[in-house]
Amino acid sequence: MAEEAAVSEAAFSLQSITITDEAKDDYQYEEVSADDEISLHEDDEDLSKALQNVQEQTENARVLALQSVLTSKKSVSETPQAMDDFFCNFLVRLGMSRTLDCFQTEWYELIERGLLTVEAAGLVPDVYTRNQQLEAENVSLKKDLENYKHSVNKKEEALLKMQRERDFHRMHHNRVVQEKNRLISDMKRLKAHYASYEPVLKQLSEKYQNSLTQKMLTSLERDKAMGQVTGLQAALESLESGYNKQIPETKVGHDCTRKKGFEGPTQKALREARQQKFHVVASSSCGPDDDAEKKKSRRDLKDSEFPVDAEGIPYLEQAKEHTQPLKSGQYQLSSILKVHDFAVSCLAVHPQKKIVLSGGDDRLWKTWGFPDGNILLTGEGHTDWLSGCCFRPSGTQLVTSSGDTTVRIWDLSRRGCILTLRGHSRAVRGCSWHSCGDFVASASTDGTSKIWDVNSERCRYTLRGHEDSVNSIEFLPFSSTVLTSSADKTLSLWDVRTGLRVYTFQGHVHSCNHATFNKKGDTIASCDSSGVMKLWDMRKLLPVVSIDAGPHPANQVSFHRSGGLVALASSEGSVKVLCLAVGQLSILRGPGVEVRCVRFHSQDYLLSAGADGRVCIWTWAQ
């Protein structure tokens, strides 16, 4: 440790000198005389005085030593820098190493020769050193001043820009406020103007609804009277001819045939007028315009006659057989069938055979056996998702509607599309086949519904009146009435013979997704996007039951053939069944995905299809 301390001390010293005991210096020591102040006088031999004098002298020596130390520190701190050190530091600072080497070599040679001494070189004046420090500080301050000026200029530019933007936004705000005030005043004026017309509009609306109701009732009475007259004429003719004519029974699912013996006076007059028009056109000259008129007349001649509302429903006897209330029990999940790859959007049941028709988002329709699920036929041709499907009452054909704005009619025996009906401008949401088999109805998101004549292959009427998308459409069996549900929160009854709306049901507060008739045709069930289901009386034209099955949307409703059960397809992944006899709502939970459609099959089965492409079969268990 001692050696390391000696090495470190030598490293920081300019010259190391070793002092020995034999060394002698030139210092001359002075001899202390006996008469010095420290010596005691002979007369003064008192011990106490001697001690006091010694203490005073010691104190004085200590004060003198302290003063000398302070003086030495001050002199060291105030000693100016030597000239050679100044030049060395100056050259080092400038990086002039070769000049520094030359200076040191020549400086130490002159000192060794004795031509130059450190004292003769002198010291750097304090004023010069201070001037250099002040000059350096002045340069630094000038740089700071330039930086501050540059920052101030930038801040001034930013301030001017913000002031201009503030003025622009202030002017824009004032203009917006003026426009707002003007719009508010216009709205107030329009509200006041509308309020003045509101009582009149309400009165006219009530008169219009009353007129439509009276018109519908009058039409029903007229059709009933015409049916009675036709029956009486047929009976009279049979009595006059001398034999009793038997009225054929109409079987379930067969086409409604019209025979000349049962033709009413209105239908007979229309047929005769068309035949006469055809003969007149055929006997006229054959020019270009005449050819077009002749072609049009021939096409019109193919148009089917709209059926007269029957006095009684041919299915009524069958419906009465199933009006007996079901025995106590509930539906249970019996099987799940994977039918489509994507969501199933519609279901239909064959009128005669155990065959089910389904359509989905995979653009295909499929017929499969019930209940095994074996695929019988697959139809492709639509370019977008299928929204609706329905069998023809005879069971030989089917109709489908799609998001590609078309309606297609397919023949099961030919296994292909035989007719494509185009006319809607947007996606078609549903379709329905009339019980006579000559007419097809379609509903579209363009806000219209269309009545298509299958025989003449053209649109007979376009039903306009809804303010939003028409989501479903269905014929009242054996009548000229069609039911539509719309996103404008209303249901409407239409007379397809005139293309006019007969009545509007109002009561839903959200978009109506679906509506349907029961087997008897005296009750309507509807559902909306908030999960509310309503039952309407066709005779009173009023709602009789309202069930809140929400908050999830209800997609479709279906009546059991007995009319005592109503099934609801819910987006929460369940099927809700309402028993009208006891007012009980039961919930059937299946795979848990959104249920798109629901349909009763025969007496004891219920079908439901969801967004996963599977169909659930529920069986009534006591």
What are residue 601's DSSP bridge partners? 605
Q: How many beta carbons lie within 10 A of that of residue 211, not counting itself?
A: 10
Which range, 111-125, 270-284, 581-595, is most confident? Answer: 581-595
pLDDT band of 41, cuts 50, 70, 90: very low
- 3-class state of residue 154 by DSSP: helix
DSSP state string for 295-335: HHHHHHHTPPPPPPPPSS-TTHHHHHHT-SPPPS-EEEEEE
Q: Residue 478 — φ and ψ, nearest 5°?
A: 55, 45
Tell me the whole-structure pTM to 2 decimals: 0.54
Of 540, 532, 541, 536, the residue nearest 585 (C-alpha): 532
pLDDT digits (tens, 9 = 90+) for 334-362: 999 999 999 999 999 999 899 999 999 99
Q: How many beta carbons lie within 10 A of that of residue 216, not counting itself?
A: 18
Question: Which single residue is written with the structure tokens 């520190």?
Answer: 73
> In this model, does residue 66 exceed pLDDT 50?
yes
What are residue 558's DSSP bridge partners? 567
> In this model, does residue 297 exceed pLDDT 70?
no
- 3-class state of residue 390 by DSSP: strand
Exposure b/e, 442-472, CB count within 10 A at least 16 = b? bbbbbbbbbbbbbebeebbbebebbeebbbb
Strands 364-369 and 355-360: antiparallel
DSSP state string for 501-543: EEEEEE--SS-EEEEEE-SSSSEEEEEETTSEEEEEETTTTEE
Residues 6 or more apart whose Cβ sits within 8 Å of residue 263 = 230, 271
What are residue 615's DSSP bridge partners? 337, 609
Average pLDDT, the chain: 79
C-alpha separations of 132 from 90, 103, 128, 135, 218 in Å: 11, 22, 6, 5, 119
Distance between CA atoms of 288 and 403, rounded to whole angstroms?
39
Percentage of residues in the chain with pLDDT exceeding 90?
Answer: 44
Distance between CA atoms of 72 and 534, rounded to whole angstroms?
113
pLDDT at 70: 53
Cα–chain center distance at 78: 84
pLDDT digits (tens, 9 = 90+) for 416-467: 899 999 999 999 999 999 988 899 999 999 999 999 999 988 999 999 999 9
Distance between CA atoms of 516 and 510, rounded to whole angstroms?
17
Residue 551 DSSP code: S
pLDDT at 490: 94
Among 157-166, 299-308, 543-552, the range scoring the smallest mean pLDDT is: 299-308
Distance between CA atoms of 357 and 403, rounded to whole angstroms?
18
Distance between CA atoms of 372 and 27, rounded to whole angstroms?
135
Residues 6 or more apart whose Cβ sits within 8 Å of residue 562 = 322, 323, 324, 325, 326, 519, 603
pLDDT at 467: 92
Does residue 601 come out as left (phi exceeding 0), alpha (psi in the -120 to 50 range) or beta? beta
pLDDT digits (tens, 9 = 90+) for 145-154: 999 999 999 9
Residues 6 or more apart whose Cβ sits within 8 Å of residue 108 = none
> In this model, does residue 263 exceed pLDDT 70?
no
Distance between CA atoms of 483 and 517, rounded to whole angstroms?
8
> In this model, does residue 2 exceed pLDDT 70?
no
Distance between CA atoms of 57 and 78, rounded to whole angstroms?
32
Mean pLDDT calculated for residue range 171-179: 93
Mean pLDDT calculated for residue range 283-289: 41
- 3-class state of residue 369 by DSSP: strand
